[in-house]
Protein backbone atom coordinates (compact mmCIF):
# COMPACT_ATOMS: atom_id res chain seq x y z
CA UNK A 1 0.00 0.00 0.00
CA UNK A 2 1.29 3.46 -0.95
CA UNK A 3 -0.03 6.12 1.39
CA UNK A 4 0.67 9.80 0.91
CA UNK A 5 -0.67 12.31 3.39
CA UNK A 6 -0.45 16.08 3.33
CA UNK A 7 2.69 15.95 1.27
CA UNK A 8 4.35 19.27 0.56
CA UNK A 9 7.45 19.99 -1.48
CA UNK A 10 9.45 23.19 -1.63
CA UNK A 11 12.71 23.90 -3.36
CA UNK A 12 15.09 26.50 -1.93
CA UNK A 13 15.81 29.23 -4.48
CA UNK A 14 17.76 32.49 -4.24
CA UNK A 15 14.41 34.27 -3.97
CA UNK A 16 13.19 32.07 -1.15
CA UNK A 17 11.40 28.72 -1.01
CA UNK A 18 9.43 27.71 -4.09
CA UNK A 19 6.40 25.58 -3.24
CA UNK A 20 5.59 23.02 -5.94
CA UNK A 21 3.35 20.59 -4.03
CA UNK A 22 0.91 21.26 -1.24
CA UNK A 23 -1.36 18.99 0.79
CA UNK A 24 -1.11 16.07 -1.59
CA UNK A 25 -3.06 13.13 -0.14
CA UNK A 26 -3.90 9.82 -1.81
CA UNK A 27 -3.38 6.12 -1.45
CA UNK A 28 -2.98 3.23 -3.88
CA UNK A 29 -3.07 -0.51 -3.27
CA UNK A 30 -1.19 -3.32 -5.02
CA UNK A 31 -2.86 -3.87 -8.38
CA UNK A 32 -3.78 -0.17 -8.73
CA UNK A 33 -2.56 1.80 -11.73
CA UNK A 34 -2.81 5.57 -11.83
CA UNK A 35 -2.03 8.33 -14.31
CA UNK A 36 -0.94 11.78 -13.22
CA UNK A 37 -1.42 14.56 -15.74
CA UNK A 38 -0.87 18.28 -15.43
CA UNK A 39 0.79 21.17 -17.23
CA UNK A 40 4.54 21.36 -17.61
CA UNK A 41 6.08 22.67 -14.40
CA UNK A 42 3.14 21.62 -12.25
CA UNK A 43 5.31 19.35 -10.10
CA UNK A 44 4.65 15.93 -11.64
CA UNK A 45 8.29 14.84 -11.69
CA UNK A 46 8.83 16.29 -8.21
CA UNK A 47 5.97 14.18 -6.91
CA UNK A 48 7.33 11.01 -8.53
CA UNK A 49 10.81 11.67 -7.13
CA UNK A 50 9.40 12.05 -3.62
CA UNK A 51 7.31 8.89 -4.00
CA UNK A 52 10.40 7.01 -5.13
CA UNK A 53 12.62 8.30 -2.34
CA UNK A 54 14.81 10.32 -4.70
CA UNK A 55 13.75 13.70 -3.22
CA UNK A 56 12.90 14.52 0.36
CA UNK A 57 9.41 15.83 1.09
CA UNK A 58 9.28 19.22 2.83
CA UNK A 59 6.24 18.20 4.86
CA UNK A 60 3.77 15.37 5.19
CA UNK A 61 4.35 11.66 4.98
CA UNK A 62 4.87 8.92 2.44
CA UNK A 63 4.71 5.26 3.40
CA UNK A 64 5.03 2.11 1.34
CA UNK A 65 3.65 -0.93 3.12
CA UNK A 66 3.74 1.03 6.35
CA UNK A 67 7.39 2.02 6.02
CA UNK A 68 8.44 5.64 5.74
CA UNK A 69 11.55 5.68 3.51
CA UNK A 70 12.58 9.09 4.79
CA UNK A 71 13.21 7.76 8.30
CA UNK A 72 15.84 5.37 6.92
CA UNK A 73 19.60 5.91 6.98
CA UNK A 74 21.15 6.76 3.60
CA UNK A 75 22.32 3.23 2.82
CA UNK A 76 18.96 1.80 3.92
CA UNK A 77 17.17 4.36 1.74
CA UNK A 78 19.34 3.41 -1.25
CA UNK A 79 18.49 -0.23 -0.60
CA UNK A 80 14.79 0.62 -0.32
CA UNK A 81 14.87 2.40 -3.69
CA UNK A 82 16.72 -0.44 -5.32
CA UNK A 83 14.46 -3.13 -3.98
CA UNK A 84 11.02 -1.54 -3.67
CA UNK A 85 10.90 1.00 -6.47
CA UNK A 86 11.25 0.68 -10.24
CA UNK A 87 11.77 3.87 -12.23
CA UNK A 88 11.19 4.44 -15.93
CA UNK A 89 12.26 7.88 -17.15
CA UNK A 90 11.44 9.71 -20.37
CA UNK A 91 15.04 9.30 -21.49
CA UNK A 92 15.55 5.60 -20.81
CA UNK A 93 18.91 6.36 -19.01
CA UNK A 94 20.55 3.14 -20.17
CA UNK A 95 24.30 2.56 -19.90
CA UNK A 96 25.57 3.03 -23.49
CA UNK A 97 28.53 0.66 -23.17
CA UNK A 98 26.45 -2.22 -21.81
CA UNK A 99 24.30 -4.77 -23.64
CA UNK A 100 20.54 -5.09 -23.21
CA UNK A 101 21.08 -8.01 -20.83
CA UNK A 102 23.68 -6.13 -18.78
CA UNK A 103 21.48 -3.03 -18.55
CA UNK A 104 18.54 -5.07 -17.26
CA UNK A 105 20.82 -6.70 -14.68
CA UNK A 106 22.14 -3.40 -13.25
CA UNK A 107 19.74 -3.27 -10.25
CA UNK A 108 20.66 -6.82 -9.31
CA UNK A 109 24.39 -5.97 -9.26
CA UNK A 110 23.78 -3.50 -6.44
CA UNK A 111 21.81 -6.15 -4.57
CA UNK A 112 24.57 -8.68 -5.07
CA UNK A 113 27.28 -6.33 -3.82
CA UNK A 114 25.19 -6.14 -0.63
CA UNK A 115 25.51 -9.90 -0.29
CA UNK A 116 22.13 -10.88 -1.70
CA UNK A 117 20.92 -12.25 -4.95
CA UNK A 118 21.88 -15.17 -7.02
CA UNK A 119 23.66 -14.54 -10.30
CA UNK A 120 22.20 -17.45 -12.28
CA UNK A 121 18.64 -16.73 -11.16
CA UNK A 122 19.00 -13.03 -11.92
CA UNK A 123 20.25 -13.77 -15.42
CA UNK A 124 17.40 -16.21 -16.05
CA UNK A 125 14.86 -13.64 -14.86
CA UNK A 126 16.45 -10.95 -16.99
CA UNK A 127 16.30 -13.16 -20.09
CA UNK A 128 12.65 -13.93 -19.43
CA UNK A 129 11.77 -10.26 -18.96
CA UNK A 130 13.68 -9.31 -22.10
CA UNK A 131 11.61 -11.87 -23.97
CA UNK A 132 8.41 -10.54 -22.40
CA UNK A 133 9.22 -7.04 -23.62
CA UNK A 134 9.80 -8.51 -27.07
CA UNK A 135 13.57 -8.07 -27.30
CA UNK A 136 14.72 -11.68 -27.18
CA UNK A 137 16.56 -11.22 -30.46
CA UNK A 138 18.21 -7.95 -29.33
CA UNK A 139 19.67 -9.19 -26.05
CA UNK A 140 23.30 -8.51 -27.06
CA UNK A 141 22.62 -5.13 -28.65
CA UNK A 142 23.90 -1.95 -27.05
CA UNK A 143 21.49 0.97 -26.58
CA UNK A 144 22.98 2.73 -29.63
CA UNK A 145 21.84 -0.23 -31.73
CA UNK A 146 18.18 0.03 -30.66
CA UNK A 147 15.22 2.20 -31.64
CA UNK A 148 13.68 4.62 -29.14
CA UNK A 149 10.80 2.28 -28.37
CA UNK A 150 13.17 -0.65 -27.93
CA UNK A 151 15.33 1.34 -25.52
CA UNK A 152 12.26 2.16 -23.49
CA UNK A 153 11.33 -1.53 -23.39
CA UNK A 154 14.79 -2.26 -21.96
CA UNK A 155 14.21 0.45 -19.34
CA UNK A 156 10.93 -1.23 -18.38
CA UNK A 157 12.60 -4.62 -18.02
CA UNK A 158 15.32 -3.03 -15.90
CA UNK A 159 12.72 -1.32 -13.67
CA UNK A 160 10.93 -4.64 -13.10
CA UNK A 161 13.88 -6.99 -12.62
CA UNK A 162 13.68 -6.90 -8.82
CA UNK A 163 9.86 -7.13 -8.84
CA UNK A 164 9.40 -3.82 -7.02
CA UNK A 165 6.08 -3.11 -5.31
CA UNK A 166 6.02 0.41 -6.74
CA UNK A 167 6.70 1.29 -10.38
CA UNK A 168 7.05 4.97 -11.26
CA UNK A 169 7.14 6.18 -14.86
CA UNK A 170 7.93 9.76 -15.82
CA UNK A 171 6.61 10.48 -19.32
CA UNK A 172 7.59 6.97 -20.49
CA UNK A 173 6.23 7.54 -23.99
CA UNK A 174 7.14 11.22 -24.26
CA UNK A 175 9.83 10.68 -26.90
CA UNK A 176 8.04 8.03 -28.95
CA UNK A 177 5.79 7.97 -32.00
CA UNK A 178 2.25 6.82 -31.46
CA UNK A 179 2.74 3.20 -32.51
CA UNK A 180 5.74 2.73 -30.18
CA UNK A 181 3.94 4.65 -27.42
CA UNK A 182 0.97 2.29 -27.68
CA UNK A 183 3.26 -0.74 -27.47
CA UNK A 184 5.02 0.64 -24.40
CA UNK A 185 1.72 1.51 -22.70
CA UNK A 186 0.29 -1.95 -23.36
CA UNK A 187 3.48 -3.56 -22.09
CA UNK A 188 3.55 -1.51 -18.89
CA UNK A 189 -0.05 -2.44 -18.13
CA UNK A 190 0.44 -6.07 -19.01
CA UNK A 191 3.47 -6.46 -16.74
CA UNK A 192 1.72 -4.44 -14.04
CA UNK A 193 -1.15 -6.94 -14.06
CA UNK A 194 1.24 -9.86 -13.93
CA UNK A 195 3.31 -8.48 -11.06
CA UNK A 196 0.41 -6.79 -9.24
CA UNK A 197 2.55 -3.81 -8.40
CA UNK A 198 1.42 -0.24 -7.86
CA UNK A 199 1.92 1.62 -11.13
CA UNK A 200 2.07 5.42 -11.31
CA UNK A 201 2.53 7.00 -14.73
CA UNK A 202 3.12 10.70 -15.29
CA UNK A 203 2.09 11.62 -18.81
CA UNK A 204 1.14 14.43 -21.15
CA UNK A 205 -0.71 11.94 -23.29
CA UNK A 206 -4.48 11.86 -22.76
CA UNK A 207 -4.43 8.62 -24.69
CA UNK A 208 -2.04 6.94 -22.24
CA UNK A 209 -3.82 8.42 -19.20
CA UNK A 210 -7.14 7.06 -20.39
CA UNK A 211 -5.71 3.53 -20.41
CA UNK A 212 -5.12 3.68 -16.65
CA UNK A 213 -8.03 2.97 -14.27
CA UNK A 214 -7.24 5.81 -11.81
CA UNK A 215 -6.57 9.34 -13.00
CA UNK A 216 -5.17 12.27 -11.08
CA UNK A 217 -4.56 15.82 -12.19
CA UNK A 218 -1.92 18.06 -10.70
CA UNK A 219 -2.77 21.77 -10.78
CA UNK A 220 -2.09 24.69 -8.45
CA UNK A 221 0.26 22.47 -6.42
CA UNK A 222 -2.58 20.09 -5.55
CA UNK A 223 -3.48 16.64 -6.71
CA UNK A 224 -7.09 15.99 -7.63
CA UNK A 225 -8.60 12.64 -8.50
CA UNK A 226 -10.51 13.05 -11.76
CA UNK A 227 -11.65 9.49 -12.34
Q: Is residue 99 part of the contact set for ligand ADP (CB under 6 A)?
A: no
Q: Is residue 56 part of the contact set for ligand ADP (CB under 6 A)?
A: no
Q: How far is CA 159 from CA 15, 57, 165, 194, 216, in A?
A: 37, 23, 11, 14, 23
Q: Is residue 73 part of the contact set for ligand ADP (CB under 6 A)?
A: no
Binding range to Mg ion, per CB under 5 A, among 17-25, 40-48, 123-131, 216-224: 40-48
* Least Cβ distance, residue 227 to Mg ion (angstroms): 22
Sheet of 59-64, strand order: 18-28, 2-11, 59-64
The DSSP H or E segment spanning 48 is helix 44-51
Q: Is residue 172 part of the contact set for ligand ADP (CB under 6 A)?
A: no
Alpha helices in 133-221 (DSSP H): 148-160, 178-195, 206-210
Tell me whether residue 148 or residue 174 sits nearer to Mg ion (CB atom).
174
Residues in Cβ contact with 18 at an 8 Å cutoff, skipping those fewer than 6 apart:
10, 11, 12
Q: Is residue 20 part of the contact set for ligand ADP (CB under 6 A)?
A: yes
Among 1, 6, 17, 18, binds ligand ADP (CB under 6 A): 18
Catalog residues that contact ligand ADP under the rule CB under 6 A.
11, 13, 18, 20, 38, 40-46
Amino acid sequence: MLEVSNLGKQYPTPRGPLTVLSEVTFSLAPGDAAAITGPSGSGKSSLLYVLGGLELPSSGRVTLDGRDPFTLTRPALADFRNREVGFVFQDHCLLPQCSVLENVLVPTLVARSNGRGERGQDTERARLLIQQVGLGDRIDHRPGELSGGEKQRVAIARALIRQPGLVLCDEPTGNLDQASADTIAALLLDLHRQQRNILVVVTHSARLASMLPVQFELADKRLKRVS
